[in-house]
Chains A and B, each alone.
Chain A
Amino acid sequence: MQPNLRPITRETTDVSSAPGDSNADLHRHQESVPLPHGNRADVRKLSFWYGKTQALKEVNLPVVDRKVTALIGPSGCGKSTLLRCFNRMHDLYPGNRYDGEIRLYPEDENLVAIDPGLVRLRIGMVFQKPNPFPKSIYANVAAGLEVRGIKKRSVLDERVERALRHAALWDEVKDRLNGSAYGLSGGQQQRLCIARALAPEPEMILFDEPTSALDPLATAKIEDLVQQLAGEVTILIVTHNMQQASRISDFTAFMLMGEMVEYGNTDQVFTAPEDPRTDQYITGRFG
């Protein structure tokens, strides 16, 4: 299946070791550093196996800096699998294997070959189901800051407020920051999770179908939010909902059975797809 193209092969290590002197690395992604081709990341010939089952087949994908890239495709096409490669979530489960590269810029590192803990300090994630910790609203947002060595109360206060404002949640929760996160509605919980991901100011945020568990109103709020964030942080979003992809993304990638079928400007992919399979999918003929 895989010929002799093997740049780097890695078994998942199953242990996310604590990063050592990673704090220095955290803020080296300054706005001024030029990114090649304006990309934050480049997926190159990435293959992935769950045990013996191949879920990604030599996938290529550019991720443009501070834009929204949407991954679409039918269930089981590998879009979530690809997303979870970006922060090495697969390493938590034994038996998974990566082959190929995801180049992360500006350092030009292969993020499937470096320490997963280091990767996760730089790339945040928002999950399908809102998963706040059973703690206070404040503690949830601060959760990612303490691990990065930010412990001063005044700095924490400021960063928590900024993240909550960013996530359009501040006005709703500012009077009950010490209340339980479980007292919030589903949509508010998801925005809290977005604030939690935003607080450490990551270079990229991964969204794994963030609105699939939410009602239409809450969905609209999250969509607005994603678009607002796009100017500041690189966003990769998996969505089941094609209208959502066309509304909020700048670039769209269409996947099918573990392969990348088509990638391009969202407008172009939705109005004039090059591949007949993309055309069939977006016009609703399958999937």
Chain B
Amino acid sequence: MSEISSAESELIGGATRQFLRRRAFWNRFAAYWLLAAALVSVLVTVGIVYVLVTESLPFFNQVSLVDFLTDTQWTPMFENARYGVMTLVSATLTVAGIALAVAIPAGLALAIYLSEYARPAVRESVKPLLELLEGVPTVVYGFFALLFVTPLLQTFIPGLAGFNMLAPGLVMGIMILPYTASVSEDAMRAVPMGLREAGYALGYSRFRVATRVVIPAALSGITAAFILGMSRAVGETMVVAIAAGQNPNFTFNPTEGAATITAYIVQMAMGDLPHGSLAYQSVFAAGFVLFLITLTFNLIGFFLRRRFREAY
């Protein structure tokens, strides 16, 4: 476009040529500027990974990987410190599992309703409402879990501890629900109308079309939605730090309190740990594990999403 042959340039007046030159300059300027903006986020990500790896390497010089992965005690502040990260991972996965147990059925039901049943007017008003729910600060959800849901659950689960994994799990399920429902709904709406018509033409009811035609066709997108929701639940900090307690505890029992990876990191970051100490480096090791878990889920979600885009 910017190349102008000499024959052409003779036809173009000086003012026009100047205009073209100026436009070419601004085009290039905008391109570099946008590239720089994009590079910042890439550099930050690379920086985070670099810090996680370099800070946790010295940790693994002192704690063997086998102990790290098999020990069931996490006591960095004790005289005889032990670093069994599975203690934190068990709590992380338990809370995330409860969250998914809430978000998958409810999110799927909501997505089916919005995509297959709701009139356009209803859909257009419910979706912004869901996005509003996404905007609620997580600290609010945390106190909601601690001060409302836990006492409520204690009325019919007598043995429930004040800090427990059940309440934050349930609340987190509600928290990720808008996200999973909205992404699943996008996947369902991407299913071509022709497939739905084929189902109806066979005599299917609306519910049968939703469950036998639309969900199977959108399955990879729906799975991606829930995997991304899972990765959000795993990385969520505030709700669990507030309502699940800060006590590392190797358990999958939701009525007990236990610190998740994120809760441990918050706890350590708020205390004053001597820089370079083993406990200080354990924060980075735990962070690295968290990073690997969410990265795995994000990658699976990413590939599934790409597959569902190519499906039709």
A18 x B216 contact (CB < 8 A):
no
Q: How many residues of A contact B (CB 8 A)?
A: 29
Cβ of A144: which chain B residues have Cβ within 8 Å of it?
202-203
Query: Does residue A256 face the partner (Cβ distance < 8 Å to B)?
Result: no
The count of A-to-B residue pairs whose CB atoms sit within 8 angstroms is 69
Of the candidates B119, B201, B208, B213, which one forms a contact with A89 in the assembled complex, judged by CB atoms under 8 Å apart? B201
**Cβ–Cβ contact A133 & B201, under 8 A:** no
* B204 contacts the other chain (CB 8 A): yes
Task: Indicate if B205 sits at the interface (CB-CB under 8 A).
Answer: yes
Q: Does A270 contact B (CB under 8 A)?
A: no
- Which residues on B are within 8 Å of A, measured CB to CB? 119, 192, 194-208, 212-213, 216-217, 311
A117 at the interface (CB under 8 A from B): yes
The distance in angstroms between the C-alpha atoms of A232 and B205, with both chains bound, is 27
The contact sample of 10 A-B pairs, CB cut-off 8 A, is A15-B206, A18-B207, A19-B203, A87-B201, A89-B201, A143-B202, A144-B202, A147-B203, A197-B202, A200-B203
Q: Could you say which residues of chain B place their CB within 8 Å of the CB of A160?
A: none
Query: Chain A residues with Cβ under 8 A from B199's Cβ?
Result: 133, 143
Identify whether the interface residues of A are mostly helix, strand, loop, or mixed. loop
Contact B203 A117 (CB under 8 A): yes
Complex: A15 Cα to B205 Cα, angstroms = 8
Q: Are A133 and B198 touching (Cβ within 8 A)? A: yes
A 118-152 to B, binary, CB cutoff 8 A, 1 in contact else 0: 00110011010101111100000001100110000
Residues in B with CB closer than 8 Å to A120 are 200-203
Q: Which residues of A contact B311 (CB under 8 A)?
A: 134
Most chain B CB within a 10 A radius of its CB, from A15, A124, A143, A200 = A143
**Is the pair A18, B205 in contact by a Cβ cutoff of 8 Å?**
yes
Residues of chain B lying within 8 A (CB to CB) of residue A196: 198, 202
Q: How far is the CB of A87 from chain B (nearest CB, A)?
A: 6
Known: A94-B119, A131-B192, A134-B216. A117 touches B197 (CB 8 A): no
CB neighbours (8 Å) of B205 from chain A are 16-18, 117
Using known A-B contacts A18-B208, A133-B195, A147-B208, determine if residue A125 contacts B201 with beta carbons closer than 8 Å: yes
- Within the assembled complex, what's the spacing in Å between the Cα atoms of A84 and B132? 41
Q: How far is the CA of A213 from the CA of B206 in the complex (A)?
A: 28
Cβ–Cβ contact A127 & B203, under 8 A: no
Indicate if A92 sits at the interface (CB-CB under 8 A): yes
Besides the known contacts A15-B206, A131-B192, A193-B198, 7 further A-B residue pairs in the complex with CB atoms under 8 A apart: A92-B196, A124-B202, A127-B194, A127-B197, A127-B201, A129-B194, A134-B195
Q: Name the distance in Å between B204's Cβ and chain A's nearest Cβ.
A: 6
Report A-chain residues with C-beta under 8 Å of the C-beta of B213.
133
How far, in whole Å, are A147 and B202 apart by their CA atoms in the complex?
Answer: 8
The residue of chain A having its C-beta at the shortest distance from the C-beta of B192 within the complex is A131
Docked-complex contact B217 and A200, CB < 8 angstroms: no
Decide if A92 touches B197 in the complex (CB within 8 Å). Answer: yes
A134–B203 Cα distance when bound, in Å, is 18
Question: Which residue of B has the minimal Cβ distance to A14?
Answer: B119
User: Which residue of chain A has its CB nearest to the CB of B312?
Assistant: A134
Q: In the bound complex, how far is the Cα of B195 from the Cα of A127, in angstroms?
A: 10
Whole-angstrom distance from the CB of A112 to the nearest CB of chain B?
16
Give chain B residues whose Cβ lies under 8 Å from the Cβ of A124. 201-202
Is there an interface contact between B194 and A131, defined as CB atoms closer than 8 Å? yes
B95 to chain A, nearest CB (A): 34
Nearest A residue (CB) for B209: A16
- B197 → chain A closest CB, angstroms: 6
B200 touches A89 (CB 8 A): yes
Beyond A127-B194, A131-B192, whether A147 also contacts B216 by CB under 8 A is no
Tell me whether B216 and A135 are in contact (CB under 8 A): yes
Give the residues in chain A near B195, CB-CB below 8 Å.
131, 133-134
A202, chain B: closest CB distance, angstroms: 9
A76 to B216, CA, bound (A): 34
Cα(A7)–Cα(B208), bound, Å: 33
How long is the Cα–Cα vector from A250 to B203 in the complex, in angstroms? Answer: 28
Residues of chain B lying within 8 A (CB to CB) of residue A127: 194, 197-198, 201
CB-based nearest A residue for B218 = A134
Best-surrounded residue of A15, A18, A124 (most CB of chain B within 10 A): A18
Q: Which of A19, A134, A197 has the most chain B CB atoms inside 10 A of its CB?
A: A134
Q: How far is the CA of A120 from the CA of B204 in the complex (A)?
A: 8
CB distance from B209 to the nearest CB of A (A): 8
Q: Which residues on A sit within 8 Å (CB–CB) of B216?
A: 133-135
A87, B194: Cα distance in complex, Å: 15
